[in-house]
Structures are given as C-alpha cells and as structure tokens.
Structure 1
Amino acid sequence: MVNLVNTIASLRSKRILLTGDTGFKGSWLALWLAEAGAEVYGYALPPLREEDHFNLLGLRNRIDHFDGDIRDRDQLRRFFQQAQPEFVFHLGAQALVRESYQNPKATFDTNIGGSVNLLECVRETPSVKTLIYVTSDKCYRNREWIWGYRENDELGGRDPYSASKAAAEIVFSAYGDSFFASRPNFGYASVRAGNVIGGGDWSSDRIIPDCFRSIYHNKPIVLRHPKSTRPWQYVLEPLSGYLTLAGALTENPKQFSGAWNFGPHGEANRTVKELAQAMIDLWGSGQINVAQQDSDWHEAGLLHLNCDKSHHQLGWRPRWNFERTATETVDWYRAFLEGQSITQKSIEQIQRYTETIYD
C-alpha cells in the first residue's frame, strides 16, 4: 500500500480526465487528485442538488470541469482533444438500481453506450497511457453464494443496472482484445467495488442518505430489505485501489491490465439493518421501520467480493473496518449539519485515511 503514496506523489502536474466528477465517488476522487497537485479535467452532468459534495467542495473553482453527457460522443471527443489526458478514470454512470427499473433505456444508454463513447475517445487519443474503467460488484451474475465473486466469475444481471454493468464489462474486454492489448505502453483495467458509503452521498433510495434524512427530520428509517447483506466500505477504500492500480499500470501495463475487485474484509459484510442501527447508535437518535414489500423489483440478498488478486498482486488491502467506516460517515454528516467546512472535513478524512496506510 505504500505504492499508493508513491502513485499520488507521481500524479503531480499530470493531466487526468475524470468522468462522473459531480457524483459521489467522482467528487472524492477529483478532490484527492486536486490535493495531489494533478491537472484534473472533469466531465459529467451538472450536480443535482445544492448540497452535493461537488458543490460543497467548490470543485468548479479547483478543476477544469465541463457539464457534459457521456452519451454525447462528439462533445466528449472535443473534451478529450482539449484535455489531452495521460490518465483517464471513467466513473460516469447511472448508478442506482431502482432508477434503472424506472428508466431502463436511459440506464443502458448511459452505462453501455456512454462507456462505448468513452472507450472510443480513449482509442482515438494517443496521449492516454492509463485507463481505469469503473463498473460495479453487481456486474457478476448473482447466485446468492456465501463466498465472494472472483474476477473470472460469470457476468450477468437480473435488473437493468446490473445487466448494464455486466454488458459494460464485456464491451471493455472487447476493446481490450481488439485495440488496447497491442497499443504500446498502454495500461487498462476494469475495477469492481463493493457497496460504497461515506460523506457526501445524497442520492435517493440509498441507505446512508436515507438514514440521515430520516434522522434529521425525526422520522423512522424505512428499510425495504433489512436482511440483505452487502460489503460496506468507505468511499476512500476503492478509490485508493483505483489509484494504486493506476500506478501499477504505469510501471507495468502488461502485467496489471485486466479486471480487479476492491472490497472490504469479510467482517464488513453486514445486513442493511445492522448498518442503519450503527448509524443510529453513533448519531444518538433514530428508529427503524421495516417496509412492506410493495414491489416485484428484484434486489440481491447476498453479495460480496473476493479480493485475493488485489491483495496479493497489488499489495492493496482495506484499511478501515466496519466500525471506523460507520464512525467516519457519521462524522462527515454531523459536520455538514453543524455548518462546518466540508472542504476541510473531506481533506481531513483523506489525510486520516492516508496515515493508516503505514499502520
């Protein structure tokens, strides 16, 4: 994991293009890269809410951001031509399972068609030397196994979101075999992370923002699937994996190109109800209601990743356990509600996380 520190130091003044920088994970990565002194180019739809992390950080004033849609190939190509990036991190996506049921075509158009546009722009831009292509742990065909999914397990998905991510992986593999494998000194990898939580997430129908909206308004937290188990991890965990992998790809693109999982240790596989209860206990108030199942929409009951490849070949491992993840999440939202500087709070969390690399 000391490789992460070396990678971050090496990114100073590098030209880095990041799709999805207005999103939850994307805004954290944009901040981390900007703090490292990188020249960051962000391309994404405008943030939806005034309180979105991107806005609270004032990222429009820190990076070169363009409001754009990855479904617009011509617009995206012009942005690539302007940025001439050395590194590309592709996080732009429709990232919500329930939204994918309500708007399946938009989900497929964004997660498959938008990803094709991104890959085309990378293919046409000789300056790009490293590509990190973010999909999801839900790209695996979920068989409700008790063991974690490996990178070579079958892809698939019952819901539109999961299916779109599995398809995006197949598209990525085709571009790798057809174009990228023969490209000199070019490293490319798809990355699949477990359920990411932390400060700055305000999306609808996601457990953490739902918890804090309910707690703030003194209403019960309503859980649709309280027994569903997920591999919860703080947002900085997978981002540290992406950055570590980017450094490895730069040094040895042939060895490290391919698919990689980034998930927490097994102890972080907890039920939705256990996570909500942890939020209540740390906040000091709140209650839980279990909703009646009023929909036929399918959501996986059990899902977690096997990260042996990342552990052994990259030297990457998660640093914050479930309790630390829950504590840092509550700490961020408490700071927000108390009117503290979110830029300072977020930078402090990045610094605290980085310090644990040497533990």
Structure 2
Amino acid sequence: MKVLVTGAAGFIGAHTCLRLLRDGHEVLGLDNFNDYYDPSLKHARVHWVRQNVGDFPLHCLDLADRDAMARLFAEERPEVVVHLAAQAGVRYSLQNPQAYVDSNLAGFLNILEGCRRHPVQHLLYASSSSVYGANQRTPYRVQDAVDHPLSLYAATKKANEAMAHSYSHLFGIPCSGLRFFTVYGPWGRPDMSPMQFARAISEGRPIQLFNHGRHQRDFTYIDDIVESLARLLPYPPRADAQWDAFSPDAASSAAPWRLFNIGGQRPVELLDYLALLEKHLGRDAVIELLPLQPGDVLATCADASALARVTGFTPTISLDEGLGRFVAWFKHYYSHGATDGEPAGEQPKQRRVI
C-alpha cells in the first residue's frame, strides 16, 4: 500500500519507515526537522533508513501548514496514514505550550481533513500512556477513563483521540489510536531518559531522579512498537454493532474507531532500570534524588490484551535485552572518534547519591 508516515525523521517514525519499506509498502515520509532537539540526529536517522532499504520520498513541511498539507494529500493520495509527528515531551509543555497547540491540535486537524477529503483505508495515530493522567489503577486498560491529564502534552493526546472519533463518526474514517508506553531503543530521542542517563553516566555527570527514583515505567522496546504497528496496519477498525450507548465502552465505538495500548506490560522502578543501564555501560552513576515534578505520572503499566486479540502479538523484548541493544548503538553513535566510547571525565568507582 501507499503509506504516508508523518514524523518520518523521528525516533519511532524512522524505525517505522524502515519496517514498512522492508515489508514492500510504498512509503512517503513527512517531517519538519524542527530544532526541539538536534536536527542532525533526525537527518542521521533518515540516512540510516536509506542505507538499509534505499531512497524514499520525504517532504519537509510543517503539519500546521494547512495549505501545504492539503496539497500533499491531493497530490499523493495515500491509502494509509501513520501519524507519528507531534510535539513531544511533558516538561517542555510547561515552557512552550503554543508548540503543542500548533503541532498536536492544529496539525492533527490537518491530517484528519486530508483523510476526509481524500479517503484512506486506515489512519493510525500516536497517542500516549500519559493520557491516563491521575489514574493510579494499573495495569491501564483502554476502557479506563482518561479525564484527568496531568500535562498539556497529555491533554493534547486525549484531544487527538476525541478528534479522531468525531471524524470517524462523521465521515467514516477508520481510526486506530495507539497509546505508546515509554518507548526506548537505538536512535532514541536525546530528551528521553535512556539517552540522557547514558550520556551523563559516560561523562561522569549527575543524573536527576525525580520522585527519589520511585517512579515505575512500562518500558517498551522500539522493535515491539513497530511490530505492533505493522501488524495493525492491515486491520482497520469496523463499527462495533454491539456498542451500547447506554453503557459505553471507552475503547470502541459505533464508529470505525479503536484504541490500543502498546506496552511491554512489565513496569520497572527507575532505580532498577538505572542499574541495568549501569551494567551495560560498565560504569556507575552519580545520582541526585529530587521530589516529584509537576506533570509527572507515578507509574505506568499497559494492559495490551486488545492488541493481542487483533494481531496475536504482545511485546516480548525484555528491558535487559533492549537496553543492551541500545547501549551498543549509543557507544557507536556517540563515540566521537573513540573506539569504545570512553568518556573524557573521571568515573565514580561505585554509584554515588548526592
């Protein structure tokens, strides 16, 4: 099929393009290469994909550019859209909220309008485990209420799910919302903890652990994310004839709209996660323990049974194995000419807490 992948130079987007091209799909990429983090990493991801599977068209434009997005859909007529582009980050939403309105709300509306005016077989879009917000009952089920987001980022993802439902109901667009849980792996984002922690440990800098390191996260390796997405691609949702408006299921609908948790279903405390990262790096960390920060969720854990029912697949890669693969990539990419990625600074002989 002809698949439009937005955020094609992003972490999940690049891995998705690689997988779909290997599967024989015609992939059309879109990215604005903004400077939320170093664009050179985004360009390097695209180069990596092209090295492995050959060239593919990649449009450099912004989701919020309504006219440009309308032209793209009119000219390219994708059969499937995998919408992964967004302004990410919980803490950054406290500093620059307008970026989330432009990309996550206005940009997503332009995607929906494109799918409306040039009908697609399936729209798959990235949501987030952050939508569960203040809900502390785990594992999170897609049927759970998501009425109390703790950050603007989470609120925009919840809004995306509602916007998709309205377009699915009004125009019959088959929409699948994918609630990703703490994705990590090679080519990950520099603002996420694996990259931040690995660089800090390698350079002998302190690592800040909020909530005194007692957060729990359902870490999900990138290959499991992409496998889930690829398996869902040929299964656009259908209207649920059994859906009851008097006792509504929050994860399905009388419209062709569904929600899925994409998570490893194995929550790990951050201190234990850090210990595994130390093991694979062969170095100990300097840790600064800090209190809970605004917008942070205490624990995440996915119930991915809906994914298993539709695709027969659940994430399988353990955190230990996944971090080993990540560290191997990290040492290679950030070696700066050193054969083994040795840092410049003196390393602590054992973990220190400051």
Instruction: Please tell me whether the aligned partners of residues 186 and 330 of structure 2 are also in contact (alpha carbons under 8 angstroms).
Output: yes
Residue 195, structure 1, aligned to residue 182, structure 2: yes
Instruction: Please tell me whether the aligned partners of residues 220 and 286 of structure 1 are also in contact (alpha carbons under 8 angstroms).
Output: no
Residue 118, structure 1, aligned to residue 111, structure 2: yes
Q: Distance in 1 between matches of 2:164 and 2:302?
A: 20
Number of the residue aligned with 1:131: 123
Tell me which amino acid in the other structure corresponds to 1:258.
R
- Gaps of at least 5 residues in structure 1 are 1-13, 182-186, 341-359
Q: Distance in 2 between matches of 1:188 and 1:301?
A: 29
> Which is worse superposed, 69-78 or 172-181?
172-181
2:103 counterpart SS class: helix
CA deviation vs aligned residue, 1:208-257 (integer Å, no higher than 9, x gap): 110122133232333224111110011121221111111222xx745784
2:82 counterpart SS class: strand
Residue 55, structure 1, aligned to residue 52, structure 2: no
CA deviation vs aligned residue, 1:43-79 (integer Å, no higher than 9, x gap): 1111642551542441577221111111111111111
> Counterparts of 1:160-179 in structure 2 under 5 Å?
160-179=152-171
2:163 counterpart SS class: helix
> Aligned pair in 2 of structure 1 residues 284, 272: CA closer, same or farther (>3 Å)?
same
Q: Distance in 2 between matches of 1:290 and 1:177?
A: 49
Q: Distance in 2 between matches of 1:30 and 1:313?
A: 22
Q: Distance in 2 between matches of 1:152 and 1:137?
A: 13
Tell me which amino acid in the other structure corresponds to 1:84.
R
Instruction: Please tell me whether the aligned partners of residues 20 and 43 of structure 1 are also in contact (alpha carbons under 8 angstroms).
Output: yes
Deviation at 1:88, TM superposition (A): 0.5
| One of 267, 281, 284 as aligned partner of 2:282 | 284
Q: How many pairs are equivalent?
A: 314
Residue 72, structure 1, aligned to residue 69, structure 2: no
Tell me which amino acid in the other structure corresponds to 2:275.
Q
TM-score by length of 2: 0.82
**Structure 1 consecutive aligned stretches of length 4 or more whose deviation exceeds 4 Å:** 252-257
| One of 185, 209, 221 as aligned partner of 2:207 | 221
CA deviation vs aligned residue, 1:296-318 (integer Å, no higher than 9, x gap): 52311112221111122321211
CA deviation vs aligned residue, 1:144-191 (integer Å, no higher than 9, x gap): 22x21211211231211111111111111111111126xxxxx32111
Residue 315, structure 1, aligned to residue 312, structure 2: yes
Deviation at 1:122, TM superposition (A): 0.7
Instruction: Please tell me whether the aligned partners of residues 22 and 47 of structure 1 are also in contact (alpha carbons under 8 angstroms).
Output: no
Q: Distance in 1 between matches of 2:334 and 2:181?
A: 27
Tell me which amino acid in the other structure corresponds to 2:270.
V
Tell me which amino acid in the other structure corresponds to 2:259.
A
Q: Distance in 2 between matches of 1:80 and 1:287?
A: 48
Q: Distance in 1 between matches of 2:118 and 2:33?
A: 25
> Aligned pair in 2 of structure 1 residues 254, 303: CA closer, same or farther (>3 Å)?
same
> Aligned pair in 2 of structure 1 residues 35, 338: CA closer, same or farther (>3 Å)?
farther
Number of the residue aligned with 1:148: 139
Structure with the higher fraction of residues in helix conformation? 1
Larger radius of gyration: 2
Q: Distance in 2 between matches of 1:153 and 1:235?
A: 25
Q: Distance in 1 between matches of 2:32 and 2:210?
A: 29
Number of the residue aligned with 1:334: 331
1:97 counterpart SS class: coil
| One of 20, 28, 38 as aligned partner of 2:7 | 20
Residue 30, structure 1, aligned to residue 17, structure 2: yes
1:212 counterpart SS class: helix
- Gaps of at least 5 residues in structure 2 are 241-255, 338-354
Tell me which amino acid in the other structure corresponds to 1:52.
L
Q: Distance in 2 between matches of 1:72 and 1:30?
A: 23
Tell me which amino acid in the other structure corresponds to 2:150.
R
Deviation at 1:134, TM superposition (A): 1.3
> Aligned pair in 2 of structure 1 residues 339, 35: CA closer, same or farther (>3 Å)?
farther
Tell me which amino acid in the other structure corresponds to 2:288.
V
Tell me which amino acid in the other structure corresponds to 2:304.
C
- Identical positions, percent: 24
